[in-house]
């Protein structure tokens, strides 16, 4: 029986792999502008890292982790996200002892057991950025600005920046109590998960996927009414520096994010094109997570970051026809009229490739028809035909598909001829 790929995973073949690498290239370009170093962490970690880091009441930890025991009986998990792993590496390698702000990026696969649909995979990839070691609101706006520059560098301009603050520990605790009281009156009409969230973490009810349209959630008290003076001043500075950077934003007091490590500023960049099927798709998301380092055994470190979903970016780029004009046309396809010329053709192809040209050659056919088919399939700009006569004369027949002409030229001139196109 045929063995197929797992649900929610993808084979990236040819052009699809190209799209993935294209986004990675753009990510590398943007991180350079901010002096961000790359960090490559293991794909699996101790399960405890995510229990403590992401939070035991989150959907990710409760329902979506690929967890298993290895042969040594260790509890391990395929990473569902990158922030906890970067923070673990940051603490373990004592990077906090280095002077100044530390900026890291990562790019690679994450794993969540979710119901697959467009832009929601079980194995997906993220480009993430984490700034650690600074609690300035100006850093928040720089990180949001970086995120928006990244989307623009890909040619994505239709997106909205949605921000919120979930306050510090003090305001969140007052708000959580208020939410607990409020939801207690509505809990009977809510899903089983929300019922269990009521005591443990009522904030999570606000981002429930099942009950998202429930009136009780829509009318719940807003965190903005429970902020401390410090939170208000901080958030005002974030807003004013976003304005200084000309970044238009919306405030959504429902935006609480589905991971427990967040504090203060949270944000999402959401695709915004009402005419599109994927309007409203969150392309990237992030926020501050000042308590994460200490939660996993390190010192208190103030930090903020975001991660973008690569598969979602590809959906948008496909919709924008960004890859339609990808020209993978081959520079020259060499056709031999008989088998006797094959070695000569191989040698010529080799030489031209050494000079950086993309050359195609048919290994099995000596008839013209299949060799011309290869030229067509690879969109060859130049077709070079070599037979017995050409071998002796040192001249070749060239079909120039760009100029739509046929001419005879010296074989030794072929590179200059092609480059002169």
Shortest Å distance, C-beta 200 to ligand HAM: 19
Indicate the residue among 307 and 380 with the shorter CB distance to ligand HAM. 307
Scanning the structure block, which residue is given the tokens 């004592």?
Answer: 94
Q: Which residues contact 259 (CB under 8 A, 6 or more apart)?
A: 54, 55, 58, 60, 81, 83
Where does this chain touch ligand HAM (CB under 6 A) — which range of 78-86, 153-161, 234-242, 389-397?
A: 78-86
Q: Could you tell me the CA-to-CA distances from 308 to 39, 129, 403 in Å, in that order?
A: 16, 9, 44
Q: Which two tokens stand for residue 91?
A: 């603490």
Residue 65 interacts with ligand HAM (CB under 6 A)? Answer: no
285 binds ligand HAM (CB under 6 A): yes
Q: How far is the CB of 196 from ligand HAM (least distance, A)?
A: 21
The only residue of 53, 202, 291, 305 in contact with ligand HAM, by rule CB under 6 A: 305
Quick check: 287 binds ligand HAM (CB under 6 A)? yes
What single DSSP character describes residue 340? G
Q: Taking CB under 6 A as the rule, does residue 45 contact ligand HAM?
A: no
Q: Is residue 128 a contact residue for ligand HAM (CB under 6 A)? A: yes
Residue closer to ligand HAM (CB basis): 273 or 413: 273
Instruction: Establish if 160 lies at the interface with ligand HAM (CB under 6 A).
Output: no
Residue 140 in contact with ligand HAM, rule: CB under 6 A = no
Strands (DSSP E) contained in 44-115 are: 44-46, 66-69, 75-78, 102-111
Residue nearest to ligand HAM (CB): 309
Interface pick for ligand HAM out of 95, 121, 163, 334 (rule CB under 6 A) = 121
3-class SS of residue 207: helix
- Nearest distance in Å: CB 82, ligand HAM: 6
Q: In whole angstroms, how close is the CB of 265 to ligand HAM at the nearest point?
A: 10
| Paired tokens of 184 | 């207690």
Nearer of residues 202 and 258 to ligand HAM, judged by Cβ: 258
* Residue 96 beta carbon to ligand HAM: minimum distance, rounded to whole angstroms: 17
Torsion of CA 198, 113, 80, 310, to 10 degrees: -120
User: With binding defined as CB under 6 A, does residue 284 bind ligand HAM?
Assistant: yes
Supply the Cα-derived Rg of the chain in whole angstroms: 28
Q: What CA–CA distance (Å, rounded) separates 158 from 165?
A: 24
Could you tell me whether strands 159-165 and 66-69 are parallel, antiparallel, or unpaired per DSSP bridges? unpaired
Question: How far apart are alpha carbons 33 and 22 in whole angstroms?
Answer: 17
Asked if 155 contacts 317 with a C-beta cutoff of 8 angstroms, the reply is yes
Please select the residue that binds ligand HAM; options are 50, 104, 107, 124, rule is CB under 6 A.
Answer: 124
Three-state SS at 27: helix
Q: How far apart are CA 398 and CA 415, in angstroms?
A: 12
- Which residue, 111 or 417, is less far from ligand HAM as judged by CB? 111
> H-helix or E-strand containing 407?
strand 405-410
Strand partners, 127: 107, 308
Is residue 312 part of the contact set for ligand HAM (CB under 6 A)? yes
Q: How far is the CB of 279 from ligand HAM (least distance, A)?
A: 15
Question: Residue numbers of the site for ligand HAM (CB under 6 A)?
Answer: 81-83, 112, 114, 119-121, 124, 126, 128, 130, 259, 282-287, 289, 305-309, 311-312
């Amino acid at each position: 029986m045929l063995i197929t790929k797992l649900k929610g995973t993808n084979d990236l073949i040819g052009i699809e792999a190209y799209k993935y690498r294209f986004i990675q290239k753009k990510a590398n370009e943007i991180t350079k502008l901010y002096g961000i170093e790359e960090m490559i962490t293991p794909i699996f970690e101790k399960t405890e890292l995510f229990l403590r880091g992401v939070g035991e009441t989150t959907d990710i930890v409760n329902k979506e982790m690929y967890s298993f025991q290895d042969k040594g009986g260790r509890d391990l998990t395929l990473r569902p996200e990158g922030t906890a792993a970067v923070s673990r590496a940051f603490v373990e390698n004592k990077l906090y002892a280095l002077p100044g702000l530390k900026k890291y990026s990562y790019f690679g696969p994450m794993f969540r057991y979710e119901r697959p649909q467009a832009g929601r995979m079980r194995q997906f990839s993220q480009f993430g950025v984490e700034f650690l070691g600074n609690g300035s609101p100006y850093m928040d706006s720089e990180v949001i600005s970086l995120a928006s520059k990244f989307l623009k560098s890909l040619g994505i301009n239709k997106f909205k920046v949605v921000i919120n603050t979930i306050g510090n520990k003090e305001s969140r605790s007052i708000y959580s109590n208020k939410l607990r009281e409020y939801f207690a009156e509505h809990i009977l009409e809510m899903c089983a998960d929300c019922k269990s969230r009521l005591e443990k973490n009522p904030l999570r009810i606000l981002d429930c996927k099942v009950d998202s349209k429930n009136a009780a959630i829509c009318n719940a008290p807003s965190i903005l009414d429970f902020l401390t003076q410090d939170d208000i001043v901080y958030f005002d500075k974030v807003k004013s520096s976003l304005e200084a950077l000309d970044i238009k934003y919306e405030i959504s007091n429902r935006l609480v994010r589905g991971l427990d490590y967040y504090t203060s500023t949270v944000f999402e960049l959401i695709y915004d094109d009402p005419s599109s099927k994927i309007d409203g798709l969150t392309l990237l998301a992030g926020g501050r997570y000042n308590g994460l380092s200490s939660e996993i055994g390190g010192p208190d470190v103030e930090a903020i970051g975001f991660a973008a979903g690569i598969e979602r970016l590809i959906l948008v780029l496909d919709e924008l026809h960004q890859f339609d004009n990808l020209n993978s046309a081959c520079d020259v396809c060499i056709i031999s009229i008989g088998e006797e010329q094959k070695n000569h053709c191989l040698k010529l192809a080799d030489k031209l490739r050494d000079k950086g040209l993309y050359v195609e050659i048919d290994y099995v056919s000596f008839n013209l028809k299949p060799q011309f088919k290869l030229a067509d399939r690879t969109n060859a700009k130049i077709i070079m035909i070599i037979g017995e006569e050409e071998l002796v004369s040192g001249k070749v027949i060239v079909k120039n598909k760009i100029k739509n002409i046929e001419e005879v030229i010296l074989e030794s001139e072929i590179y200059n001829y092609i480059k002169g196109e």
